[in-house]
Amino acid sequence: MATSTSGSGMQLGIGSSYLIKPKTMATPLESFDVQIESPVDFASLKRNRMDLEALISAQKLFDYFRMLNGPTYVNLVKDFWVRAEVFDQEAASLEERQAVARDPSLKRKSRKEMGLEPFRRLEIRSAVMGILITITEEVITRACRVAPEGRFLWNVSRKDPLLESYTNLLLKGDPATMLVDMDGSYRMLLKFVTDCFFQKGGGSDQLSLDHKLVLYFLAAYQAINLPRYLMHHLCWAIKEGIKGKRKQIPCGRLLSEIFSQGGLLETLRKSKLASDRVLGTTIGKIINGKTLQHMKIIRKFSPNEKDLKESSVPSELMRDFPPISKEDNPEVLAGYIAAHAKESGATTQVEDIPNSSDDAPLRFKGKRTKVDTDSEAAVAKSEATNYDSAFAPTPKRKRGKGDSSITNEVAKLALEEMDAEEQRPSKRQPGGVDLVCPMFSVTLVMASRA
């Protein structure tokens, strides 16, 4: 069934209580493979006799492809992925059954009467650097810079008549035709599907029935609802990862764009935790005229000085893209990671980082201490508090034996950079006097607060 509707208002912010706790990923973080979408240089393709601009114009996807040429933050994507959960209708039903199991009097009650938030739409819930994040189809739509309209078909039957249309158009009526034997322009569209939309890996190179129809819609100049497809692709990959069947993380660039537009990168920059080394900044490989040569569509590639270059420059921030957290809380969280690890000599787990609700002050489990930003006494008391674990309204996810927190690595890298900075010789005036103020020194707590 083709659809073109969009959901309700966009949401990217601190998530609510996560009561659905499926089996979590027990795979070590270093074994995950973040797949990065490939930017496309349409001008280079055109200069090398492959003009696809009309097809992409019909899809209104030029802004999406421009977004792909930007940095991917591998460490943040892994930190997000290892905690990612899909909240769909099935998860909502399980949540209700769990509530009834705890209190049988809630049977046949509404979600509101059970004390649960109403189920509105499909969501991906996770956390990055201790900040709860909810990604919806509307968030992906904004990050992709495309309209939430067009054709969307999922879980199609092998008898779907559109599959016959796919065979007639792209395989010239012969279902035995190999994908590599398709027309050059269709092979390039296939590369867009596998490298720019739905990154493959860990399975067969053959397209699924759903993705065959995506390829057909592209070739037939029929607009697709790309955000909805990407949302379903991410949800599928998350569920496969939880089952232990998939170690590939798709859409690394799209997720990084969401983190950037949501304000997470700005928070880490202010806390001096946003170096390329800490974030694991990587850039996708460009599809251009040279790709045509590698695919043997053309014999010789003709480079040009105007060819697209790989960019590590983040996209300009959107004014109306919602932030992912409260304005002050992320800075406290990021500063806490570095300051606590520096003073204690131990790295900090994400589970040890405090979460806060929209209205509640920052809290810690154990000796719960309110942080008063105007009181040095409160800061000193907070330093003395035993930060064994975080106060949070939700139970912790049980982690696999081989699993570890990426925040450990982020803290280590940040501390190494801080130590290197401290070991550098101080700048001196010509007379040999240190450029410091003898009556004032900045503590780690003051620096993290600043």
Lowest mean pLDDT among 61-70, 83-92, 224-233, 321-330: 321-330
- Measure the CA–CA gap between 327 and 267, rounded to whole angstroms: 9
How many residues in total does the chain contain? 450
Do 230 and 9 contact (CB within 8 A), yes or no? no
Model confidence at 393: pLDDT above 90: no
- Measure the CA–CA gap between 435 and 428, rounded to whole angstroms: 6
User: pLDDT digits over 282-300, tens only?
Assistant: 999 999 999 999 999 999 9
User: pLDDT digits over 106-125, tens only?
Assistant: 998 999 989 998 888 899 99
Mean pLDDT of 257-277: 82
User: pLDDT digits over 125-168, tens only?
Assistant: 988 877 788 899 999 999 999 999 999 999 999 999 999 999 99
- Measure the CA–CA gap between 400 and 386, rounded to whole angstroms: 25
Question: Residue 318: pLDDT band by 50, 70, 90 thresholds?
Answer: confident
Strand 85-87 with 123-128, pairing:
antiparallel
Mean pLDDT of 177-203: 89
Lowest mean pLDDT among 67-76, 233-242, 253-262, 271-280: 271-280
Pairwise pLDDT comparison (166 vs 264), residue with the higher score: 166
pTM score? 0.70
Nearest-CA neighbor of 314 among 261, 277, 367, 274?
Answer: 261
